[in-house]
Structure formats: structure tokens, C-alpha cells
Structure 1
């Protein structure tokens, strides 16, 4: 790979802002990014929230009777969101550059949750939002176009990926790609002249040209690029916006989250749910022993699929017992979100959740079916890091506790569960390490059949086959499986 002077003028890469006493500070980033001045009222505001794994974002996301949109509430005093400039009553318009104003509330929460420790949000103050809605205006029209990077997976053709890299002499982290027409990179969606942001899930901002060349050679026959079109890069610079992989357009990836809807047959669904290590992403739940001709196989389940969600609820952070009981609570039918083994390996490698890029076509087309027997009610979700989904007894609505330290649940199998669980209505399966496991869910059909398995029964090493009333041996905590 040859280093070229493909950039016309490296000086143009350095943002310069001049101060004119008559005009003020000419820096668009100060007016759009992390702006809390009163002058910003009536205009969309952009924030990049970054937290450590032990921190929370520090706000609740509500839907409220008498108010439209996704409402920011209960900002933690001195918390990350408040310090960045989010205000009580703000309406959330975008998550990672994607419009969410008309999106289903739980889907919005999933997007924040799947973003991990960093999320980009666009908000509008509540008064402006309500006035715009009352006048029948489209709040989306108030938003300038948001540049989205592209996530591209390239398989080498013969001896080339189909692109070359140029970089200014002696400058780190500035790489421009020249794409060969109809080559592997072109077919993967890489635009000619784009800027390289990440290689195989790692930022290149501190890489020299030589280091990047070495990393490309070490990639083997496949490589994953996060790139930004030249025009979009200029847009981001002028707005002071930081681009992240969570904002990416992943439509050209060959890996897709699949939606499986199954109706239980006389022999059950016909698959085994097994807990296994999942590379860098920790423990995962995998689908094994898919029986030919039974509901799971007919719905499109494949051996080795990883389970991501049950009936629209993300389960990546739930343990095996909780997930089994979620499926049991679903009754005679269930909808699963899964990804195949290759897709799971890909997202593991780049450190992102597949759910971040999943779009429910039924929801998008307005055909989403809500759970039977549950009226539409206000919701509030605690925005932090990934954890469980717990209902609030006072409103009978769903609250997602997303990774807040000291929040309602610490779901670690075989360990003590936080006492706060007792204050919540029974919504997820919470295994009590010393006194037993309480099997319960939000499905009203399960309440009558709720059962508690005491420590003595757990010590005997048995697990119940769902829908059969039988028991099967359980080898221990290192590998858990459940026939469904």
C-alpha cells in the first residue's frame, strides 16, 4: 500500500474560528453542541452523552398522558445529563442521528440501551415542541440533516479489498479512501473519497499511516470499515458533532437480525435454549438442537442462532432463568429476535449490539400489535446502562432500568438479588441465590401459575421442561440449557 498525497491541503483539516467583536464568536459547535443558553430555546439541541460502565446517563424517559413525544424527566442532580445541558420536559427527537419522535417508546429505549456507554441525542424544549404539535407542524422539519457514517463489511477479492488509502505526510488519523469501481469495497457500499473513522471496530484517530497499513494486512480476508462521506464529514465539522459507530447506517451489512414468530405445537417449540460464552460480549443464550418439522424450524430458526429479544424485550443482559421464564410467560406463542452465528461473531468483533441496527418492519409500517390485555399507559424509563426491564406498580407500565448502579436489580445467577426488587411489581424473573427462585412475569396468565423453587429443589439439580411438566438433569451453573 502506497502512501499518497491524496489530500489537496492538509491545512483545511484543521478547524479555525476567528473572533470578530462585531459578530461574536463564529463557532457553530458552541451553538449546537452541548448548548444550554437561553438563546437556544426554540431550536434543537445536540448532545453526546458518554459514561463509564459504572455510571448512568442520569435521566428518565417518559410517555405521559396529556403530553406528546418522549419526555425527558427526573434528571439526576449533578448527573451526566444535567451537566451536559438536558432539561426537564425536553422532548427527545433523535437518537444517534435517527428520528425517534414517532417511534414506539420501547423501541427508543432499546436504541439508547444498545448504544452502550455513549449515545448521541437531539432534543427540543417542551414548550416549543408542544406549540409546534398544536399547530400541526412537523418537528422533524426543524432538524438539519444529520450525517450518518457507513458500516461496511468487505471480503477480499483475490488479493485486494478494492480500495487504497491516502494520508498527509506525518499526520495521524487522517485517512481518505479511493475506491476501485465494482471492486469489493464498492460492492460493500464504501463511497469513493470517504474518510476512514474505524477499522475492525477500533478508532484510527491515533494511527500513523504505517500502523494502519499493518492493521489492514493483519485483517486477513475480511475487514470492517466505519467511513464517513466527504460531504458529511464537512457537515459534522461545521456543527461540532462527533460521529460514533452507534450512528452508522448498517443497511449494507450482510448480517441481519431475524424475527421469528412461533406457535407452540403438541411437542413444544422444538429447540434447546443453551447458555454459552460469547467471545468478548460475555455470556449469551444460543438456540440448539432445532427439531426438523417443529414450530421453531418452520419459523426459520437455525442451529447456533443467538437469542437477542423475546416479544420485543431485549434479553442480552438477562440471565438464563429469566429468559426461560419470559418465554414460558408468553403462553402458546412467542416472537423472538435472533442473529446467526456469523452475525454474532461480527458484532462481537466490533463491540456493538445487533439490536442497535434492527428495524421492526411491522412497527415501521404501523402494524405493531401490542400485548393483549394491556391498555396503553404512560411509561417511564431510566436511561443508564444495560440491565433489566421492570414494571412500576403504581402505573402498571414498563420501566427499563438501564444499568444504573444501585438500581432495582443486579441479576447475577447464584448471587443475592438487591432488596429493591421487593418494591417492584413482579415483572421479570429474579433468581434469589439463597432462598429460591420466584417465577413470575407481566403476563396475567402466568400469575395463577406462579411457582417458587426453593433452595433445596435447586440443589437437587433439576430444571422444568416448558410445557411438559417433566424434569431434566442440570449439570451445574457453567452450562445451562432448557428444552422449549
Structure 2
């Protein structure tokens, strides 16, 4: 990440991750009622995490091009089309709010600091500029026009195949360390199955890509659907010093359940199940 030199000052950030064997290691999604694309999750020890990217950041530019009004798939395509590395200009929610109040457009120039006149205005607690206050109605008007033209429906249809590919189980392989694997299991009374409650930092579990709230589908190739907590623990222990867990996050879990399909290793790379009418706006990059 390029240092903004401003300590705790609220400024945009420029994150430049280099693509690793598993991609950049972050998840992108749209939020209802908000314009733009947001970082949903940053995988531990990934190029994205090392670049300074954070969950909740709003994506403003990709390789110097503003993407605030682009569709989810357009943004995903831009990032995927960038060879080797990508430049992402992002803002967290507090910085986003501050820039809007000052009437400033978020650009790469602001990474190193605000213009002098705006810095004085920020220090004096100046009034919210009229143009910033009017920004939301403009967005609402644009959304209205999109709906009238039917663009939203066309865009979702175009994205459907890509989204199905991205909602998949994950296979996490780990070797026991001095303190075990480094994760805890728990049950949720409201939901069937066994879930990952916590993943210890710098543990074998974290290195394998296991995440909190993942649901366990298989242990060492054996399906755990309908099994009790003790059964899952025993299956993990029976693997000795190594274990292999097939898991799904909450979005993938919901998708497969609505398709009435139990995830398996066949879904890691093969054809994902099709669910007519379900369009989950989520990207994994």
C-alpha cells in the first residue's frame, strides 16, 4: 500500500496487490442501497491483505480508471484483465463520508493529502457543501433511469453464469502444528451442521484458507451432513497429523441449499449447480 503520510488522517488509499497462485485474495460485492462495489472479505496472508486492502472498503478506481458507476461484472473484468498486479484506489466508510462532506471527488491525487483550502475547511468544521448534499438524489435519479431502461435485468442475466462459478466450496488442507490445527468448531441451534467458530492467527488452519463461520461439509473425503459435533471432531482426529476439510461460506451454503444440492469436491472446479431466478451479486477475485 502507498503510505499517505498523514498518520491517522482520513484519506483514500492506493493498494497495489500482485497476483499470487490463488489470485489476489479478496471478495468483491455490491450492497443494496449503496452505489459502487465494496470489499466483502480479505483473505489472511493474501496479496490483498499485504497491500493494505480492508473489508468494507469501497472501490473507487481500478488502474487509474473510475469504476464507481460500473456494474459488478465490469469491475471484476477490469481486475481480472490486469496482468500480474492491479492498482486499486479505495476509501473506508469514514473517509468516504468526509470527502462527501467536503465536496471532494475521490481521486489518486488525494492519497497524499487534501488540498490546502479543503484542509482548512476540514479543520474549521465547515458546512457541508451544497453539491455534496445533492449527490444522493442524483444517484437515485440515475437508478430510476436504469430501471426504466431495463438495464438492471440485462446486467444480472449477463452476470448469472459468472456468479454461479464463484459460489463454490473450498478445500482446506492443513498439517497439525505444535498447538494443533488452530481452529474451533461449534454448532448453531438455528442451523444444522458444524461451523468454524474461530481461526487462530498464524495457525495451520489460517494458512489453509479456513475462515470463521465456514460450514464443514466433508472431513478427509467423508460427508459430515447430518453428523453430530462429536462425529466431526472424531473424523478430524482420525486423520492423525493432517486433515482435509471441504467447507462453504455462508453465501455458497445458501446457494447450494436453494439448489437442493450437497456440495462436494466435484464442485471445486466443475460445473456449478444452476438455480433459476437466484442472482447473488458476489464476486471472488
- Relative to the length of structure 2, the TM-score reads 0.41
Q: Which has the higher helix share?
A: 2
Q: Which has the higher contact order (CA 8 A, sep 6+)?
A: 2
- Which protein shows a greater Rg? 1
TM-score (norm 1): 0.26
